[in-house]
Amino acid sequence: MLMRSYSHTMPHTYFITAIGTDSGKTVASAILTQALQADYWKPIQAGLPRDTDVVMSLVNNKRSVFHREAYLLNHPLSPHAAARLDGIEIHLNNILLPQTNNSLIVEGAGGVLVPLNEAHFVIDIAGRLDLEVILVANIYLGSINHTLLTINELERRGIRVKGVIFNGPATAESERIILLHSGYKQLLRIYPEPAITREVVNRYALTLLQNWNP
């Protein structure tokens, strides 16, 4: 099934972050890119495979453009450690939004307090560029605490948040208490899938649009 046409108003840029590593940011980013027919950008890639290539393989529309990383690092480590092994230092001033007239999905690396260098964290990219955040929360024992700690940090920094995407088996009570204490809107739930394909991404993209207000 092909994606329905998305009615564009003003382009928006969203920063996709999560409560930790492997929370589902890349799949969520692919769904958002497909739903909004947006461009995609991963500012910092540490190790292979490139998340840009993964998202590109899952998106099926003719509008999205995939922009080059500001930093492409060789080792699958925290960006500050991967950069050190590559003999470089990550500078926030070098992370500039790509030029586009389209909406843009910006995927972070790991969780909000993953270090970029001795002074800055991943969430500083969203703060410096004044980007609205979409938080991906995977549900597991202890994830309420991790999610609410992340939310507290976003609020402490004055970061705007569009909403939350839950990833994994449905756990109604965990999700209820997270939404209660955050006041966030639930944008989507991603269930465990045998495989993530273009068809699966497109199905979730259609569901996302039902909960979406620009």
**Residue 3 in domain:** no
Number of domains in the chain: 1
CATH of the domain at 92: 3.40.50.300
Which pTM does this prediction carry? 0.94
Taking the CA of residue 94 as centre, how many other CA atoms within 13 Å lie in the half-sphere pointing to its CB?
Answer: 13
**Residue 168 in domain:** yes
**Residue 95 in domain:** yes
Give residue 84's identity as a one-letter amino acid code.
R
Residue 42: active-site member: yes
Residue tagged active-site, from 25, 42, 162, 185: 42
Average pLDDT of adjacent 10-residue blocks, the chain of 214 residues = 53 97 97 98 97 98 97 98 98 97 98 98 98 97 97 98 96 97 97 97 97 82
Torsion of CA 98, 102, 108, 111, to 10 degrees: 150
**Residue 158 in domain:** yes
Residue 87's contacts (CB-CB under 8 Å, 6 or more residues apart) are none
**Residue 27 in domain:** yes
Give residue 73's identity as a one-letter amino acid code.
L
**Residue 22 in domain:** yes
pLDDT of 5 reads 45
**Residue 4 in domain:** no
pLDDT of 114 reads 98
